[in-house]
Each structure stands twice: as structure tokens, then as C-alpha cells.
Structure 1
Amino acid sequence: MRVRTPWVEALREQQRKGTDPSTPSGGKQQVLSDRKLAPKRMSDSFHKVVLPLAQDPWLLDTYLNSSGHIRLGTIFMDLDALSGVIAYKHTGEDVTTVTASCDRIIINSPLSEICDLEISGQVTYATGRSSLEITMQVAKAPKEGEKIKNEDVLINCAFTMVSLDPGTRKPVNVNPLIIETPEEKRLYALGERNSKVRKERNQTSLIKHTPNDLESDLIHSLWQKQLQYHDPHDPMRQPPNVHFMDHTRLRTAMIMQPQFRNRHQFMIFGGFLLKQTFELAFTCAAAFTHSRPTFISLDPSTFQNPVPVGSILYLTSTVVYTDPPLIGAPGETVDENSEYTRVQIRVDSKVRDVEHGASKPTGQFNYTFSVPKNIRVVPRTYQEFMMYLDARRRAEQVRDSIKEEGLGLGMKAAEESLTE
């Protein structure tokens, strides 16, 4: 369902019409304002796909990296594609549905062997407005007649999709959900909480508000620490495991080719962006730590603007936070001798046309990896301090979310998994 028309046909049709594919088609409303939106059940949108990795060595070949581990970036592409299938089963074909954000992707259990994987999901939160949350999982495919066990679930994740009018690109209402069973009530409550967290994060963002008192104290302590590192008369010199944030950046640029377009022909498939940002984040974490990172989670991340086919995509990855941190906030204990470190990588993306006109931000993606090293990052400019605090807030929110839902994987167990 991701691509329904060959590129050459779509291109010729666009040239015949003389329209700009990056703008709404004529601006005319195509979805009726009074269309019937009967409530639907969660099960109405349920969909699953089995990847026969243990049975098909050529298919497996496209999912493995050089060390024989499953490439998670490729799995992320599948998850985004499946979220589109599920969304259209709920909304119907008369709307345009796009990925607005990835609320989380969490490794829940380690993968100990190459096996067939079942990817499944359904709409779990929809109030009737334009957005809907889709909850999915990746698990070891069960034998016929058996159910998936909790310990066989590799990945839990949630995507937020938004439905738009194909002509005006304005949000349109979708079918609300019918909630019946206790499990459906639990899933709906999680979606409600995720929606509330997104709104709170937007309202309290550091772009709109100054850091709170505790964060201001933390900034001052970090600033004092970096001054010590630069003072030749201070015995506290910079330890070998502490690195400045501006030394951790990696950048890349690439042309967006039509083979990675979405079902609407002229924009790039969101799963491709997830794959590219993940692989850059993985590389950034490896370059920072000089070790093989293990993926822990994709923290709440947003898609801001579409990426047109033929444009130039620029990605910048930065190590923005390490847990345990170099310095804890007042009243916070820090394990200075920790064996493992959680490294949070922020990937900022922007797009320009080939002629390099004005650029647009296209999304911010926040990945967390585990590394078997004691290593720390420290900011030293005001912008870096804000990036550090934003990452710290995300780490706390994800930690609370994982604790509440009973999900997540210890760093030792994550290292033993057959995934990146």
C-alpha cells in the first residue's frame, strides 16, 4: 500500500496538470464536511504481517547488518508502513493520513535467535478529531494456534497519525472509537495520557519558557565544572571520559529519490526518514563512545514538515545527554562509577530544494542507546545547555512511562540481544 503508481506515470500526470506537488492540489475541499463518522472498534483496524526471516534467507539478507544483527532501521520502516495500513483501515481512503509523531519505540525483550517476526497493531486512541494513536508490537511469530507471550515481544511502540483533506491539507475529523473490554480501556487510557504529555511538553518547552529553578542550578553547576577544566591552575582537569557536546556532532546530506516516496507519490515515506536518522544516531553514538551501541528506545519525536522527492535532506546528530550525567541536580544522586551509560542522540533534520533556497525543519528524532562504558557529555554554550535540559526532561518522561507500563529492557540484557 505504500506505493500504488509507478513513478514515471505519477511524474507524467503531474507534468500534464502543471501542478506543484509540494502544495495542496487546487486548494479545493475534497472531503465532505457532513460525512458519516460512525464509531469503530479497535479490532476493526487490527492488522498483522509475518516476516519469515527464519524461513527465507534472501529476505533475512535485507534485514541483517555486517555483524549478523537485525537492522532496526529496516524494522522501523516496516512499522511506519504498517501504521499507514492500520490508519486507512480506520479512516477510509477518502482522506490523506500522515505520520505526525512517533511517541515511543521501546525494546521490551531481547531477541536471542533469528526467527520469524510478527508485526501487528491497531488504532487504540481516537476521539473523533483529526488525530489517532496506533499501538504496535514486533514479536516472535507464534506457532499456529498459540498466542504471543509477553517474553516474546521484542518491540512496543506508538505512532500518532493525522488525517487531512487531500485538497486543502487541513485536518479533518475521523471515526471515534468504541471502548468495550478492560484491555481496550487500558490502551485508550495510555493514548489519552500520551496526548496529555504531548500537550504539556509543548506548553512547557524551553522555546517558550525559561528553565525552572532546579534546571537553572544544574546549568550553573555544569558551567562551573567546565570552567575548572579550562583553568590551568585548577587541579581538576578534564577527565578522559568527559567530552564537550560540540565535539560529538555528525552530519550528512542526501538527495531524496522517488524509490522512497509514500503512497501520495511526491513526498518521502516517513519510515525512510526513521531509518536514516536511526543509522546516523547509531553511528554518532559509536563514534562518541568507541564501542558498539545497543538501541534502547526512540523517545517522543516529531515530523514537522514533509520531505519532497528531489529535495536535499540534511541530518545533524548530536550527543545531548548521558545517564548517569556528569553532575546531578540538587538532591539527585549520581553513580559516578557506572558500568553502563545511556547515551541520548538528537537528530535534527531540514530540507532544501536542489537550488538551495530556503530551508525547512522536517523533524527532530531522539534516540537512546546503551554502551558498556563510563562516558559523559557536557554542554558549554547556551544553545547546548537548552538541548541538554530538553534531553534530560525526555529521559525522565520516558523513564516514568516505562516504569508505569512495565516495559523496557535492562542495559545488560539489551547488550545480549540480536538487534542493533
Structure 2
Amino acid sequence: MASISRTALRRLSAATLFRSSESASIYSITHRSFHSSSSYRTDGVFRELTAMRVRTPWIEALRNKQTEEKDSTKARGKPSMPKDRKLEPKRMSDSYHSLVLPLAQDPWLLDSYLNASGHIRLGAILMDLDALSGIIAYKHTGEDVTTVTAACDRIILRNALTEICDLELSGQVTYATGRSSMEITIQVAKAPKEGEKVKDNDVLINCTFTMVSLDPATKKPVNVNPLIVETPEEKRLYELGERNSKLRKERSQTSLIKHTPNDMESDLIHAFWQRELQYHDPHNDMRKPENVHFMDTTTLKSALIMQPQNRNRHHFQIFGGFLLKQTFELAFTCAAAFAQARPSFVSLDPSTFQNPVPVGSILYLTSTIVYTDPPLIGAAGETVDKDNRYTRVQVRVDTKVRDVEHGASKPTGQFNYTFTVEKNIRVMPRTYQEFMYYLDARRRAEQTTESMKEEGIGMSPETAEESVTE
């Protein structure tokens, strides 16, 4: 076997060392250390709104549930709320909570709130509002109860947001009589400078949520702490909540499910029927205008599997804010498809959550254009501006849930969104069910218009188009 001389070995070692040094130098030039921004591990909600939640991995929560189902003694052993628990009255300020959404300061956070055209997604803001209402509710009730969203009583866009800025979200319980439900009033506004207060024209959104507290074991409603009302502003808010409660009861008592349409509404149905006959009468020159669309042609549907990433703090039901986001975006798409124009959000009318949506179920959503203002046909004595280039479009989104095996379905909620479009366009019902949808939407539109006039709020369509929200 040939041997290598010491001189040759030294030369070989030196060459190897040089090549290693050269490779290291090239590597340091062509490669950089990895860097990543901090992640936001939430379910789509701003991280500070999820900080109070109990963090349990889905797999752990699922296995615990499966163990309880196998062991009937554990399932029956859940403690229920004591009937004689003490409920001391609380002040509104006790539940007050506010935070700043730093959209202008944090470009990566802003990235998760923007759509393709660079506008702030209102659907994402709606998720945050529902999460905030949960925090406020638990500050009022404590952690011993289970609190769920029962209704969005009203969400109104008050002023246009003309630039990307930090947003302040704030709210408190403003109506609670001591029964199971409570009303929470929330405001979204431009974040004021330190030491300053929010100005009226900086308020973007006012809204109210109705929350209901349940016994964690029996899932039955339980009483919550009543409110102490002290200042004139608190009295105003409490009286507003009282009025909203009365309006909900009145709407329930006079709903079209329980009562036939009134005389004026019956006349409208007859007028629409006559108009449709005229469109199809070969001896009549009147034909359906191009800007008139039958209601059944406006329907848009969607179906989603409910994944655990969108669960609420109790693990096995879907977070209410996620449902708001999905219904809003479907309604927006439906309005855009109907008008072939970009819609501007006006309001979410009183909408209800009827049944919970379990994780793992299939959610079906159906959106329909149910009313346009100005209408195609006005009531007797009503003035209709047929040439208005802007139209208010009301979209109804009905949701229902089925399990994966597609057994019996349950309605989970009805949501009523109003948008403005720069288009002269009309919707026309022609079946009895569509007439009921139309009349219900017409009533809602009138109530919203009256309420906005009373409070002196609302924007012109031109102003709404300037907003960076969508």
C-alpha cells in the first residue's frame, strides 16, 4: 500500500482547509438567517379579544368529551347552578371594556383585515364585535355561567371611514333587569389621541347585542345581575334598551307568521300580481323592464363544514362572530351579483340566532334579495322616485344546520343586511312566500329609517362610497 509523505499530507490538509473556508464564506454570503414576524394564533379574532379564553387544544377537549360520554357517572356529575345564588346589582361601568385595534401601526395585523381592493373587511370587524360582547357579558355575570349570543339587535354604519387608522372598540352592559338576558351596547370609532375623547363624527359603528346566560349543566336560562342606573347618560341607554325589548316583543306579536298582512300590504300584493299579468299579456304593450328581476332569480347559496378552529370558548359550538362574518360576506356577494355593482353597507337589521351550530356539522346558507328601495310599486299615497340612481337593497340570509349524516335540519338564524348600490334596479316577488319575505323586509326598512331619523344618524350614498370599509 502506497504511503503519503508528510509534505504531501500537509499540502492536502491546507487545500482542504482553504476549500472549507471558501465554502463557509460563500455560504455566509448567499444564505441569511430566517426571520419571521410574531404569529397571531387566534380563530380569526383580534388576539386581545381571545386572551381571556381557556386554552385547551381541540384534541384534548374532544378526548375529554368522549371519556365523559363513555362514563355516564361523569356526564351526570356536572354541577348545576344553585337556585338561591346571590345576584348583587352591578353598575354599567363594572362591565365596561375597551381596546384598540392597531390597524395603522401593525401592517401584518392590517393584512388580515383587508380585502382585495384594500378596504377593511366589515365581516372581520363583526367577528371582533361578537367576541367583545362575550367579554363584556362575562364581566357582568362572572365565569360560572355559559353566555351565548341570542340576537344582533342593530348594527348601523354611522360615519364613513376615509382612511386606514387605529380603531377603538368599547362597550358595556346597558340593559339588564335581572332575568336571563342582557343588552350590550358597543361602539367602534377612530382611536382618539391620548387624553382625548371620541368625537361624534369619528364613530364608525354603533351596535347592540342581546346575550343570554345559561346553566352550564342543564343549558337552561339562568338569571343575571340587574343593573344600577345612576347618571343621565346611563338612564338614556337603559331606556333605549327597554324600548328595544318592547320592539322585539311587538315584532313577534305582529309577525306575518302569526297574522295576515294588513289592508295596505294586501293591496300591494294585489298590485304586484296585476303587474305580473300585464308583463305576460300578449295584448298589452307593457313588458318587464330590464332593471326588474324576479325574487327567485336573485338567490345565492353556500355550504360550509364547521371546523373546530372556529369554535367558541366552550369548544363544541361554533363562535357566533364566525356566523356573522359568513352571512355578511354571502349577503355582500348576493347584492353585488344582483346589481352588478359594488355594494356599500348600511345596516344589519335585528337578526336572531335560533339554534347553536355544533362543530363538525354542515351549515347551509341561503341569501335572497327581498326588498329594494325605492320599490317597484309603492303603497297608495306613497311617492316613489323611479329615476333615483341609487337603490337600497335588503338581503335576507337564512341559515340551517345538519349533521354530516344529513339527518333532520334545524334553523340556526335569520340575518337581514341592507346595502346601497349605484344602480336603478328593482326586485319583484311573485309567490306567496316571496310576498311574505317582501312585506317583512318592507316593515324592517321602515323601522330602520324611522329609528335613524330619530337618532339623527345615517349617511348619503355618495358619502358611503368614500368609506374604506367593505
TM-score normalised over the length of structure 2: 0.87
Please say which structure displays the higher CA radius of gyration: 2
Taking the aligned partners of 1:27 and 1:320, their CA distance within structure 2 comes to 48
| 3-state SS of paired residue (1:11) | helix
Q: Does 1:350 align with 2:400?
A: yes
Bigger Cα displacement from structure 2, 95-104 vs 26-35: 26-35
The offset of 1:412, in angstroms, is 1.5
Q: Does 1:8 align with 2:59?
A: yes
Q: Which amino acid aligns with 1:277?
A: T
Q: Which amino acid aligns with 2:66?
A: Q
Taking the aligned partners of 1:133 and 1:322, their CA distance within structure 2 comes to 30
Q: Does 1:160 align with 2:201?
A: no
Q: Aligned residue for 2:380? A: 330
Taking the aligned partners of 1:405 and 1:265, their CA distance within structure 2 comes to 39
1:34 to 57, 78, 84: 84
Q: Aligned residue for 1:265? A: 315
Q: Which amino acid aligns with 1:408?
A: G
Q: Aligned residue for 1:412? A: 462
| 3-state SS of paired residue (2:194) | coil
Q: Does 1:250 align with 2:322?
A: no
Q: Aligned residue for 1:379? A: 429
Bigger Cα displacement from structure 2, 11-20 vs 164-173: 11-20
Please tell me whether the aligned partners of residues 3 and 262 of structure 1 are also in contact (alpha carbons under 8 angstroms).
Answer: no
The offset of 1:19, in angstroms, is 6.7
Q: Aligned residue for 1:150? A: 200
| 3-state SS of paired residue (2:62) | helix
| 3-state SS of paired residue (1:5) | coil
Q: Does 1:305 align with 2:321?
A: no
Taking the aligned partners of 1:340 and 1:4, their CA distance within structure 2 comes to 48
Please tell me whether the aligned partners of residues 45 and 86 of structure 1 are also in contact (alpha carbons under 8 angstroms).
Answer: yes
Taking the aligned partners of 1:260 and 1:338, their CA distance within structure 2 comes to 42
| 3-state SS of paired residue (1:18) | helix
Taking the aligned partners of 1:29 and 1:13, their CA distance within structure 2 comes to 17
1:311 and 1:108, CA in 2 relative to 1: closer, same or farther beyond 3 A?
same
Q: Aligned residue for 1:227? A: 277
| 3-state SS of paired residue (2:415) | strand
2:69 to 14, 18, 23: 18
Q: Does 1:109 align with 2:159?
A: yes
Q: Which amino acid aligns with 2:381?
A: G
The offset of 1:332, in angstroms, is 1.0
Q: Which amino acid aligns with 1:185?
A: K
Taking the aligned partners of 2:161 and 2:346, their CA distance within structure 1 comes to 13
Please tell me whether the aligned partners of residues 50 and 119 of structure 1 are also in contact (alpha carbons under 8 angstroms).
Answer: yes
Q: Which amino acid aligns with 2:354?
A: Q
1:375 and 1:119, CA in 2 relative to 1: closer, same or farther beyond 3 A?
same
1:185 to 229, 235, 249: 235
1:3 and 1:279, CA in 2 relative to 1: closer, same or farther beyond 3 A?
farther
Which of the pair has the greater relative contact order for Cα pairs under 8 Å at 6+ separation? Answer: 1
Q: Could you list the per-position Cα deviations for residues 150-188 of structure 1 after superposition, in whole angstroms to 9, with x for gaps in the alignment?
A: 000000000000011111111111001111111111111
Please tell me whether the aligned partners of residues 277 and 347 of structure 1 are also in contact (alpha carbons under 8 angstroms).
Answer: yes
Percent of counterpart pairs with the same letter?
79
Aligned-pair RMSD on alpha carbons? 1.4
The number of equivalent residue pairs is: 417
Please tell me whether the aligned partners of residues 3 and 265 of structure 1 are also in contact (alpha carbons under 8 angstroms).
Answer: no
Q: Aligned residue for 2:106? A: 56
TM-score normalised over the length of structure 1: 0.97
| 3-state SS of paired residue (2:206) | strand
1:209 and 1:29, CA in 2 relative to 1: closer, same or farther beyond 3 A?
farther
| 3-state SS of paired residue (1:274) | helix
Taking the aligned partners of 1:179 and 1:13, their CA distance within structure 2 comes to 43
Listed as ranges, the gaps of 5+ residues in structure 2 are 1-51
The offset of 1:27, in angstroms, is 9.1
Taking the aligned partners of 2:411 and 2:234, their CA distance within structure 1 comes to 36
Q: Aligned residue for 1:176? A: 226
| 3-state SS of paired residue (1:124) | strand
1:37 and 1:246, CA in 2 relative to 1: closer, same or farther beyond 3 A?
same
Q: Which amino acid aligns with 2:215?
A: D
Q: Aligned residue for 1:214? A: 264
